Amino acid sequence: MEKVLTKNIRDNREPMWIAEYEKAGGYEAFKKALQEFKPTEVADLVKSAGLRGRGGAGFPTGVKWSFMPRFEERPEQRPAHVYLVVNADEMEPGTFKDRLLMEGDPHQLIEAMAIASYAIGADIAYVFIRGEYTECQRKLQRAIDEAAEKGYLGEDILGSGFNLKMHLHMSAGRYICGEESALLSALEGRRAVPRHKPPFPAASGLFGQPTTVNNVETICNVPHIINHGADWYKGLGLHKDGGTKIFGASGHISRPGLVELPLGTKLSDVLDHFGGVRHGHRLKALLPGGGSTPLLTDEHLNTPMDYEGVGAVGSRLGTATMVVMDETTPIVGVLKNLEHFYAQESCGWCTPCRDGLPWVERILTNLEAGHGHPGDIELLDLHVKLLGPGKTFCAHAPGAMGPLESGLKYFRDELAALIPDDQDTLGLTQPANAVSNS
């Protein structure tokens, strides 16, 4: 299959620096965009290609760009700055795909950001990058410096009148910094707590100015859409959604790593690319797209791995980086570890998330240790409802409930079997008529 995003990436991840990147056709898409397209035409092309966000939610990128206010016809009303922010926080458990793109082909990201900035009218672009990704930072900074020296960044780029500055910002290392509005707060030097929406970032984002936030992998698709067109891009997918995807696998898999495949590739085929479940074992469950995506099991092996396909079986494609578990894995341990992470990473703003997640973690810890109480499974069900979509300020808590809800659905008996039956804790097992008011 045709490699698109990873075609320049070598096994040792030593990137093409600018001369080699240009020789391989790099920056041609940016030149073409500046010379042949108006900004809105770039956005329209991305919209017709059907590119969807690769950061987890799958929102259509061209549609997001179309929300940005336009100042071409009224330059006097242009605000001080318009921003593009690339989300490279990448702290979702199990997710390590953006790192490959930044380490292996930093110029692809810079060219893509330059085109995206042109499309939305941004004059300043940030990469908000995970603090631990020091190798990515070093390579991206060198590539930004090279691009600026070559005149692809700066003032009046290639005589087009378009200006763009690009900066790296190292994240403080909290999962919530990846939530786009918390990310903007962090970038402003404030505490990383999510903001109320509306206003959406396109209306009032970084420093109150129009802003678009996109994921690294999302943006990296853009030069290829410019070079080859919307129909080519749509044709890359095998099912409903167009394009390719970087799939990842970790856990009980023979060859953990990353591979670029068409969107819509069947789950069993994706697993085959990683050598399948580790030798001698069978699949018990997997998180299809990172730690906040509901579990799938071996009954879902025929699922087309794209937004629609995974959605149709009750989960989410998320970041498409799977965590694989074989039949030796106690599901209670998986859920406890995930909920421990989410409880620690709550920003503390709203009560169901701040107080509910530690409760969930404690119940699972007790179950794992054999100290569960009758009623624990029902208490977990209740938390799934109380922390679900719409009950909290941002998607952190509902995301944390994704694996738990699916764990209760597919592995209820396994979890219930952990509760010792000789306990009568808190009187919960007493029949109602045994409680006397006298």
Does 338 help bind ligand SF4 (rule: CB under 6 A)?
A: no
What are the φ/ψ torsions at residue 230 (nearest 5 degrees)?
A: -70, -40
Does 83 help bind ligand FMN (rule: CB under 6 A)?
A: no
Does 185 help bind ligand FMN (rule: CB under 6 A)?
A: no
Binds ligand SF4 by CB under 6 A, chosen from 380, 397, 401, 418: 397
Residue with tokens 């791995």: 305
Of 85, 61, 90, 52, the C-alpha closest to 290 is: 90
Which among ligand FMN, ligand SF4, none contacts residue 354 (Cβ within 5 to 8 A by kind)? ligand SF4
Does 178 help bind ligand SF4 (rule: CB under 6 A)?
A: no
Binds ligand SF4 by CB under 6 A, chosen from 101, 350, 364, 415: 350
Contact indicator for 309, 294 with CB cutoff of 8 Å: no
Does 389 help bind ligand SF4 (rule: CB under 6 A)?
A: no
The number of C-alpha atoms within 13 Å of 54 and in the hemisphere containing its C-beta is 29
Which among ligand FMN, ligand SF4, none contacts residue 284 (Cβ within 5 to 8 A by kind)? none
Does 180 help bind ligand FMN (rule: CB under 6 A)?
A: yes
Binds ligand FMN by CB under 6 A, chosen from 211, 218, 244, 303: 218
165 - beta bridge partners? Answer: 124
Q: How far is residue 21's CA from residue 18's CA, in Å, rounded to a whole number? A: 5
Of 242, 232, 318, 373, the C-alpha closest to 56 is: 318
Does 321 help bind ligand FMN (rule: CB under 6 A)?
A: no
Q: Residue 64 is encoded by which pair of tokens?
A: 């997001």
Q: Residue 18 is encoded by which pair of tokens?
A: 């600018």
Which among ligand SF4, ligand FMN, none contacts residue 90 (Cβ within 5 to 8 A by kind)? ligand FMN
User: Considering only residues 340-399, where is the footprint of ligand FMN by CB under 6 A?
Assistant: 394-396, 399
Helices 106-120 and 28-36, axial angle in degrees (round to 10): 10
Does 89 help bind ligand FMN (rule: CB under 6 A)?
A: yes
Does 144 help bind ligand FMN (rule: CB under 6 A)?
A: no
No. of helices (H) and no. of strands (E), the chain = 18, 9
Shortest gap between Cβ of 339 and ligand SF4 (angstroms)? 13
Shortest gap between Cβ of 63 and ligand FMN (angstroms)? 10
Which among ligand SF4, ligand FMN, none contacts residue 29 (Cβ within 5 to 8 A by kind)? none
**Is the peptide bond between 199 and the residue preceding it cis, with omega within 30 degrees of 0?**
yes
Shortest gap between Cβ of 189 and ligand FMN (angstroms)? 19
Q: How far is residue 146's CA from residue 19's CA, in Å, rounded to a whole number? A: 9
Q: How far is residue 342's CA from residue 230's CA, in Å, rounded to a whole number? A: 38
Q: Which residues bind ligand FMN (CB under 6 A)?
A: 53-57, 59, 87, 89-92, 175-176, 178-180, 213-215, 218, 394-396, 399
